[in-house]
Structure 1
């Protein structure tokens, strides 16, 4: 606030010098117009003029120097607030998001608040102050007719500006929508590069992007049309007002009501007035443009997550080394992604601390949905999911994520070094801890063979690594995290048989002493689990150990026989 206070003081001084300059210049013209002073140059007036010009020249950059840190810090805070809000939103929101348009929304929101501050301190206040000071001087030196004409002209000017600004707002919204769509098409095409290439659909993607850019071109042209018409209208109004005022001044000179110096003064002030009103029109347009840019950002902030934290949550330790394994219970859980799509029906499962649970079933039976409920990606519509006897809705969300370590089917890595990706499991870990985790995941030797070792960049989404290598990085990351609960969500289903066997050995070591929940399709990976639950159409149809379920001759036995037949074939 101190910087803003100094900037306002400098602003007042700058505005005063801007109004005083034409008046001082007219004094010099008046002094030099008298025959008796033609040979005696008014040095003192020139010196005053020089001082005012120096002050005016220094004020603006000094004001910008004071305000720029405040402006950039405000932009930073808004951008960070947007990202924090995005991370607070539920998985449901992120599954439906368009990444390209979302990043543009955040960028525009941050830029817009900087624009608003800049407009207020560098445009609105300076020009309003100069307008008031200038009209006051004109009223003092000239008669009321000049002020009345100027006020009428300014009113017409403002009306024209307002009308065209409203039209530009509509056109700018359309341009923003077209820009978002083009950005979405571009990002979506690049992110799915491998799919595009595998289906030889490059031309299709290019056509889609070209169509989006054509729509953007139309929107840009429409916006520029209103900008040009606005400039033409304002230019005509300025020309008409200037002509009328100069004609009035010339007539008053003929009648000896005004001197030549005052004619020069009114001409100088007219230029300043038009500049101020034009700048204020830019403010009006800039304000509305920034408001349009802020609309999507504010709409984003207005979205509330369906995952709500209670005012006084329960806090639980996250690391296995701190509190040991955790117990898990699904109590009469029912859930649907929408009212018309019920996935789980009255599911009850108890997993004692330190034991393993395998959830199996056909595609669409609800296996992965149980895993999402455990991580509180969603809340059950009925019943509860508990850790150590506490409903997940009572536990701090960050604690839930710390307690659970997930190895997913498709491991997504950051476009950073392998070392950084492993360290993501525990950002406070030392280099030695990272290397120990890599050794435990059987990937340390591979990393050391790379030219850059742990500094090797893995590429976008880890594309430079094979599936098995990515899974080992994921395992090392979870080892470093040291969670109390391990969730394996189809962790090896995308791997070849040989790699799967090797990864399974590492997962078996990782799951020792931890409560482990395995979501799997291949039954060969879960036969050692303490409890196997079979889901069918969202209901628990069987549960027990591998030998018990085989001897029962039910769903599990049929699935085992079918998969054994597939493997034999």
Structure 2
């Protein structure tokens, strides 16, 4: 028995992981408890296992193959200790070279086979996980595209992005790693326990006495670290938010213009300092417990050796059997701990599915009708009719629009004017079906918008708003966003109509110029004309101009107005105007007040009537706003 420690020490008695950073014992990283946030998420939005299983229904065969590989790999891996026992007890003492070569060769074959099976398992499980996540990701993106504007106004943009990217990516880890890990741990733990009993039932009983306190200590340390890590994650999230807000183009401009740079730096320094302290606490948390655990792990083989050497418990055990047993015992801790963590893993996994399904289950309030009316966009006239329209925003105490009856003849230029909050933009949103009326109807060429497909509505109605949005790509691709199949000639014709072709041609890269984040490379008027060119490519029969020039200076407004006049020619145009000078030539001017039409007529007739429009005209003239 004098040589036993040397032989057994080389066969892996020391559990893996004690040499990792911070002396983390094996399994600590996987040890978990249920996150209260996950439990709360599941309580609010339960998820059925049947629904999750449905995601994998079309992958039944590869899943069965993966399960078979996991079981086979775990069982094959248990052969090695028995090969070691025979090698130590028979081949080496008897100098049996042929048997020695057979056993060594078998050990190598076991390693090669298990590794090869591991490669196949990783490939299949990753492919299944990626395919399932691809389906979920695209379904969620498509569903969110169909949500109404109200959803996006009441939901933080970061929350939408997090569920679409972070949660789905985390689910992929659950599918490819956690699920296979649970199956592997269960199979390995059961197989290892059986093999240990086969080798020595007496030493197996001793291991059962030692294992529980070791697992308890490991889980205590893991839970302590988890609490600190949760605080660290919150601090890291705060830091990321500060970076995103402070170092975006808008954030940098705001900081420079109000002189908040030093305050932002101090705030960032404070958050970074907190994160540093938490990381230190995380590494030092439970250090004395880990030291105790290291002693326990070192004592386990010593106690096994002691039991094997005593006549009452050893029972004439051979050295090979002892080494094989200690090898199995050292490998048992990790899968057992993994099995104990199944509950927390399941809650975490289910919470991730719950968060994604929660968004997928949101009702689509504005959707295609079951039996849409076929629309020939090419021959549409563009007559717009609003009949008895009422609309109220969620949570509002009064209607934003109340009893609107309005007809926009095909090709007519109609203007909406009125004070802020009078309902102008709401009415425009109904015409483009960004909202549906609570009662009444909005129709184009006699067909209610709710009876058309959303694609037909988008083809019929184009919108140019005050807040021009340009993508962070080239000018050419920004224009093709409205019409992907547009030729270069069509793009150039559109930019000429929008009075912006010469500006683009003067740029070093022309149409291949990057517009920059949110179009900050261009002035407001330049962005507006690029957006107009995009609308011209879209070629709608009805054009909605929602205060498209209100944020521009007088000179720029005149340039954009020329482009608007060109774009509006031959189209039914609904213009929401703040400056009355831009709509004085409209065929019809409609005055709104608190969601009701209080006046309608031409510029001259409304001035002659001396009502609300005339008073608004006079007030703009008195403050020097151009009206001529």
TM-score by length of 1: 0.87
2:104 equivalent to 1:46:
yes
What SS does structure 2 have at the residue aligned with 1:338? coil
**22-31 or 91-100: which moved more?**
91-100
Contact 1:309–1:397 (Cα < 8 Å) also in 2: yes
Q: Deviations over 1:159-210 (max 9, x none)?
A: 6677777777776666655554443443333252333332222334445555
1:384 CA drift (Å): 3.5
| Partner in structure 1 of residue 84 of structure 2 | 25
Cα gap change, 1:241/1:21 in structure 2, threshold over 3 Å: closer, same or farther? same
* 2:317 aligned residue: 258
Residue 272 to residue 100, structure 1, CA distance change in 2 (3 Å): same
Q: CA deviation at 1:413?
A: 0.3
Tell me if structure 1 keeps the 8 A contact 2:586–2:603. Answer: yes
Among 595, 617, 620, the alignment partner of 1:560 is 617
Q: Corresponding residue for 1:270?
A: 329
* Segment drifting more, 162-171 vs 291-300: 162-171
The answer as to whether partners of 1:355 and 1:516 remain within 8 angstroms in 2 is yes
SS at structure 2 position matched to 1:528: coil
Secondary structure, counterpart of 1:257 in structure 2: coil
- Tell me how far apart the structure 2 counterparts of residues 523 and 508 of structure 1 sit (CA, whole Å): 15
Tell me the number of residue pairs that the alignment of Structure 1 and Structure 2 aligns: 565
**Structure 1 residues 94, 209: CA separation in 2 closer, same or farther (over 3 Å shift)?**
farther
Contact 1:101 1:180 in 2 (8 A): no
Deviation at 1:388, TM superposition (A): 3.4
For residue 467 of structure 1, report the CA deviation from its aligned partner: 1.2
**Cα distance 1:250–1:301, how it changes in 2: closer, same or farther (>3 A)?**
farther
What residue number does 1:450 align with?
A: 507
Write the deviation string for residues 53-112 of structure 1: whole angstroms up to 9, x where unpaired.
222233323332333333333333333333333322221232244334543343221221
1:138 match: 196
Aligned to 1:86: 144
SS at match of 2:483: coil
Partner of residue 116, structure 1: 174
- Aligned-partner SS, 2:401: strand
The answer on 1:412 being equivalent to 2:455 is no
Single out whichever of 488-497 and 116-125 deviates more from structure 2. 116-125
Query: Matched residues in 1 for 2:88 and 2:151: separation?
Result: 69
Give the conservation status (yes or no) of the 8 Å contact 1:406–1:487. yes
The question of 1:402 aligning with 2:459 is answered: yes
Bigger drift between 237-246 and 44-53 goes to 237-246
Name 2:255's counterpart in structure 1. Answer: 196
Residue by residue, what CA displacement relative to the aligned partner does 1:328-355 show, whole Å, maximum 9, x if unpaired? 3152324235233543333322223332
SS where residue 548 of structure 1 aligns? helix
Q: Which of 292, 312, 320 is matched with 2:370 structurally? A: 312
Q: Distance in 2 between matches of 1:148 and 1:494?
A: 81
Q: Which of the numbers 320, 324, 331 marks the counterpart of 2:388?
A: 331
Instruction: Give 3-state SS (helix, strand or coil) of 1:429's partner.
Output: coil
Tell me, yes or no, if structure 1 residue 529 matches structure 2 residue 586. Answer: yes
- Over 3 Å counting, the alpha-carbon distance change for 1:88 and 1:60 in structure 2 is same
When structure 1 is superposed on structure 2, of 178-187 and 113-122 the one drifting more is: 178-187
1:144-163 paired onto structure 2 within 5 Å: 145-151=202-208
How far is the alpha carbon of 1:482 from its aligned partner?
0.9
Q: Which moved more, 1:517-526 or 1:54-63?
A: 54-63
TM-aligned CA distance change 1:131 to 1:211, over 3 Å: same
How far 1:123 moved relative to its partner? 1.6
The change in CA–CA distance for 1:303 and 1:164 in structure 2 (over 3 A counts) is farther
Which is worse superposed, 171-180 or 260-269?
171-180
Shift of 1:472: 1.0
Task: Decide which moves more: 182-191 or 459-468.
Answer: 182-191
1:540 paired residue among 571, 593, 597:
597
For the residue of structure 2 that corresponds to 1:521, the secondary structure is: coil
Q: Which consecutive residues of structure 1, in runs of 5 or more, have no partner in the other structure? A: none
Contact 2:369–2:453 (8 Å) recurs in 1: no
Hey, what does 1:125 align to over in structure 2?
183
Could you say if the C-alpha distance between residues 203 and 399 of structure 1 is closer, same or farther in structure 2, counting changes exceeding 3 Å? farther
Q: Is the 8 A contact 1:426 1:480 kept in 2?
A: yes
| Range moving further from structure 2, 234-243 or 308-317 | 234-243
Bigger relative CO (Cα 8 Å, ≥ 6 apart) = 2
Deviations 1:257-308 (A, max 9, x none): 3211111111000111123234546766665555565564444444444x24
One of 111, 117, 122 as aligned partner of 1:59: 117
1:494 to 551, 560, 570: 551
The answer to whether the 8 A contact 2:73-2:118 is kept is: yes
CA contact (8 A) 2:382 2:444 kept: no
Indicate if the aligned counterparts of 1:131 and 1:273 stay in contact, CA closer than 8 A. yes
| Residue 473 (structure 1) aligns with | 530
Indicate which of 544, 569, 582 corresponds to 1:512.
569
Shifted more, 103-112 versus 422-431: the winner is 103-112
Counterpart Cα distance in 2 of 1:282 and 1:504:
66
The offset of 1:540, in angstroms, is 1.5
Closer, same or farther: CA 151–402 of 1 in aligned 2, 3 Å:
farther
CA deviation map 1:409-440 (0-9, x unaligned): 12110010000111111122222222221222
Matches within 5 A, 1:242-257: 242-251=301-310, 255-257=314-316
- C-alpha distance 389-179 of structure 1, shift in aligned 2 (>3 A): farther
What is the distance in 2 between the residues matched to 1:234 and 1:384? 73
Secondary structure of the 1:336 match is coil
User: What RMSD, in angstroms, separates the aligned Cα atoms of the two structures?
Assistant: 3.4
Q: Distance in 1 between matches of 2:164 and 2:288?
A: 31
Query: Following TM superposition, by how much is the alpha carbon of 1:249 offset from its aligned partner in structure 2, in angstroms?
Result: 2.8
Give distance in 1, aligned partners of 2:169 and 2:289. Answer: 25
Larger CA deviation: 150-159 vs 445-454? 150-159
Q: Give the Å deviation of 1:326.
A: 3.8
Question: Which runs of no fewer than 5 residues in structure 2 stay unpaired?
Answer: 1-58
Shift, 1:488, TM fit: 0.1
Worse-superposed segment, 416-425 or 522-531? 522-531
| Equivalent residues in 2 for 1:361-380, closer than 5 Å | 361-380=418-437
